[in-house]
Structure 1
Amino acid sequence: MFRAGLVLLGLLSVADLLLPLLTDGEAPPMAVALVAAALGLASLVLVISAWRGARKAIVPLIILRGLSAAAAVPAFFEPGVPAPAIAAAAATIALTAVGATLTLRGRQAVAS
């Protein structure tokens, strides 16, 4: 479970890194895409660190992925956001929750 959660969080981190290349500058705005890319890069470093056994990296990783998911919430409330962007935001939030849960539960199982 632990590794599956890290893989999922790692994939979300890579998606964040690619966001500035995928945006049209409107949905999401380029500033949001660049912040997401920074969060993705930092998250990816933490995923690699946690994969290698650094348990201290897990909590900051969950926090950064949570911030990234929270950045997707305005897509539900802003007018004119395209449906695919709303679907991507919903998927990001759901997959972040699943990845964080798998990572945290897996960490507890490994520690036991």
Structure 2
Amino acid sequence: MSQQKFASNVIEKCLAFGNPVERQILIGKMLESTTESEPLEVMMKDQFANYVVQKVLETCDDQQREMILTRIKAHLNTLKKYTYGKHIVARVEKLVAAGEKRQGLQPACTAA
């Protein structure tokens, strides 16, 4: 899913300008699991698809974001080893810090 430069651009536009039902369909596809892997895991490590994951985190509703973040957090240590995965780690840490700030909590320190 969106592992080509222009395909990722198209999916990003669909996420930005699509309606909530269309966005939910795309998120559902990302979160599907197969016997080998889940598309989200592959996308987070991909040169182009990682931008789609970042766009999803930007455009989804709070409930979807929590579901996606839960799935991503399971892979954070592994993602730090991949060039493109590091983009996702940075985005997740930023979102977590922003969420803690909204709740009046101090941001938690993260180990590298």
State the TM-score, normalized to the length of structure 2: 0.34
Q: Report the structure, 1 or 2, having the larger helix content.
A: 1
State the TM-score, normalized to the length of structure 1: 0.34
